[in-house]
Amino acid sequence: MDFSGRNVVVTGGTGALGGAVVGALIAVGANCRVSFLHNEEAQRFPFCDHKQVNLVAVSDLADEAAVGALFAGAAPLWASIHIAGGFAGGKVADTTKATLVDQLNSNLISCFLCCRAAVKAMGGGGGRIVNVAARPALEWREGHGKAAYAASKAGVAALTVALAEEVVKDGILVNAVAPSTMDTPANRKAMPTADHTAWANLNNVASTILFLASPDNQVTRGGIVPVYGKS
């Protein structure tokens, strides 16, 4: 896959999966515009000083103006990869409206606004959009105990398929991946007794995203691709 000279936006690029994606993109020549929330994230990001990486502080990806500023410097845009999001567990009976709204903002609304900005930044010249849903977006029963999260990620899946139909004639292919639990330091710390070998490997998930975002992907659109590992 060759991304030489192509501009790519990656939201959540300073996180665990985001870092794997950005590293893979750099290796194939992409110029990456990466959003971050906290200065500490940017400072410890291993590619913070890389010549192909431009870190952009974004306080809220659910804010139209903030998203507009992120994408303003990205044109001409080839690909936009939307990894940023949030997780909240809890039974429905214990979930407040504020938590539900926060999940919708951090997962669905942020993704919607970034998709909209990406389509505009591509300017009819074709491109690729890759969103990140989750296993409960495909297997709704998996959402028990985290219904607000599951509903927001199911919205990401529906958005992906609908947008894919809207923009295919513009040469834009839209897809999403749906990870199960990924093998990250944070997840290992939170679940030390789990079978970590069954979790989805970050580099393998990043490889799937990279293909969907690449010029090599000529036919796949509207897909919500399971990346479950062995779980």
Smallest Cα–Cα separation from 139: which of 33, 207, 228? Answer: 228
- pLDDT tens per residue across span 21-73: 999 999 999 999 999 999 999 999 999 999 999 999 999 999 999 999 999 98
Query: Angle at CA 153, nearest 5°, toward 108 and 113?
Result: 20
- Host H or E run for residue 42: helix 39-44
Average pLDDT estimate for 162-186: 95
Structural class in CATH, domain 7-225: alpha beta
Domain ranges of the chain: 7-225
Q: Could you tell me the pTM of the whole model? A: 0.96
The pLDDT, as a whole number, for residue 124 is 83
The mean pLDDT of the chain is 96
Phi, psi of 76 (to 5 degrees): -75, 130
